[in-house]
């Protein structure tokens, strides 16, 4: 990837730190799940970190983020506290929603991170509604809505695109096309072929396809889309081609995938390519990279210690924050 000349050493390392934090955090989550310390569903984002970090780097604090159940990467890239996120995965009272949401429902309203949604495609109408509210209130913000290729086949996808286009809503629809919806390849489930981004042509929404493994390409594409949206042009659609190096969830043995495919994608791992590129730029040293990796490992271990030492919510918490 071409390193932008205007990127300072500090900004280069900051982007690397965020990606590495997501990677180490999730690798440890996978281990903790196997130990029975994290329960329920766990969908890892390993391999897709460049998207979460690249888009977040292009957004402003007032922008909304709405996402799917593979949400750890988006949450951490948005700046959510790793301690609180880990505690939520443990089901502890110090978690982001007091231990009630778990892995698929991370939320932080103070950062306009409106949560992960467990229903495939269910976040699309939410994002459209938030964009409508922002438009009606005359607010200078956009809504970024992440979804996977499995959501392309849901009715909400088409309803959201249709309304967003008609009303020219300030929403960036962001498809993380990791080639698989659960255990089925996109070529078996999506009649539109290998270029889903062209679907938006039917709704007169401009779109583009990018390399989702390239952090700087993601960042630049998001910046350009945000500018177009805020100019009043209406919604925009980005399809980022990416690859997750883990199964759909921790319960997925990945028997449907050829090991050769994994091997072919490994050289494009953003945690391999990006640090190598910034070192080659001459602004960053390998010592800088190693130092951040060590700091991130300590940060994640501290988050685990925080989660394990935190109390579970008391029984009466069942009746808090509900309608009566």
Domain segments of the chain: what residues?
9-305
The rounded percent of the chain whose pLDDT value lies above 90 is 81
Question: What's the pLDDT at 2?
Answer: 65
CA–CA dist 195, 300 (Å, integer): 37
Question: What's the pLDDT at 202?
Answer: 92
Question: What's the pLDDT at 270?
Answer: 97
* CA terminus-to-terminus distance, the chain: 54
Q: For residue 164, give the H/E element and its range.
A: helix 155-166
Residue 144, beta-bridge partner list: 65, 172
The average pLDDT across 88-109 equals 95
CA–CA dist 297, 128 (Å, integer): 38
218 CB contacts (<8 Å, ≥6 apart)?
50, 51, 53, 54, 55, 210, 211, 212, 240
The average pLDDT across 74-88 equals 98
CA–CA dist 72, 86 (Å, integer): 9
CB 21 within 8 A of CB 296: yes
- In this predicted model, which residue has the larger pLDDT, 178 or 185? 178
CA–CA dist 276, 269 (Å, integer): 11
Q: How confident is the model at residue 262 (pLDDT cuts 50, 70, 90)?
A: confident
Residue 67, beta-bridge partner list: 116
CA–CA dist 160, 148 (Å, integer): 15
CB 104 within 8 A of CB 69: yes
Q: Is the pLDDT of residue 287 over 70?
A: yes
The average pLDDT across 252-277 equals 90
The average pLDDT across 243-255 equals 83
Q: Which CATH number fits domain 9-305: 1.20.1050.140, 3.40.50.970, 3.40.50.10190, 3.90.850.10?
A: 3.40.50.970
Q: How confident is the model at residue 4 (pLDDT cuts 50, 70, 90)?
A: low
């Amino acid at each position: 990837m071409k390193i932008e000349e205007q990127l300072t050493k500090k900004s280069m390392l900051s982007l690397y730190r965020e990606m590495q934090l997501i990677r180490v955090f999730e690798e440890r989550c996978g281990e903790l799940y196997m130990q029975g310390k994290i329960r329920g569903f766990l969908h890892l984002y390993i391999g897709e970190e460049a998207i979460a970090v690249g888009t977040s780097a292009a957004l402003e604090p007032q922008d909304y983020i709405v996402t799917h159940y593979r949400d750890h990467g988006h949450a951490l890239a948005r700046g959510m506290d790793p301690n609180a996120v880990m505690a939520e995965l443990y089901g502890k009272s110090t978690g982001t929603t007091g231990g009630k949401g778990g892995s698929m429902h991370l939320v932080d309203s103070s950062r306009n991170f409106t949560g992960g949604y467990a229903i495939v495609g269910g976040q699309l109408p939410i994002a459209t509604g938030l964009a409508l509210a922002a438009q009606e209130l005359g607010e200078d913000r956009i809504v970024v809505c992440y979804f996977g290729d499995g959501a392309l086949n849901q009715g909400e996808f088409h309803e959201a695109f249709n309304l967003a286009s008609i009303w020219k809503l300030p929403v960036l629809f962001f498809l993380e096309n990791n080639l698989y919806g659960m255990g089925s390849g996109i070529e078996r489930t999506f009649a539109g072929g290998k270029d889903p981004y062209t679907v938006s042509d039917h709704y007169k929404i401009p779109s583009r396809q990018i390399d989702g493994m390239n952090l700087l390409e993601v960042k630049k594409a998001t910046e350009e889309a945000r500018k177009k949206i805020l100019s009043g042009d209406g919604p925009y659609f980005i399809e980022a081609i990416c690859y997750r190096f883990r199964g759909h969830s921790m319960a997925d043995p990945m028997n449907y995938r050829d090991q050769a495919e994994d091997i072919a994608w490994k050289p494009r791992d953003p945690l391999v390519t990006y640090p190598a590129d910034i070192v080659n730029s001459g602004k960053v040293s390998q010592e800088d990279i190693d130092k951040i990796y060590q700091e991130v490992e300590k940060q994640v271990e501290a988050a685990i210690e925080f989660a394990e030492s935190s109390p579970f919510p008391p029984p009466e918490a069942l009746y808090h924050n509900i309608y009566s």
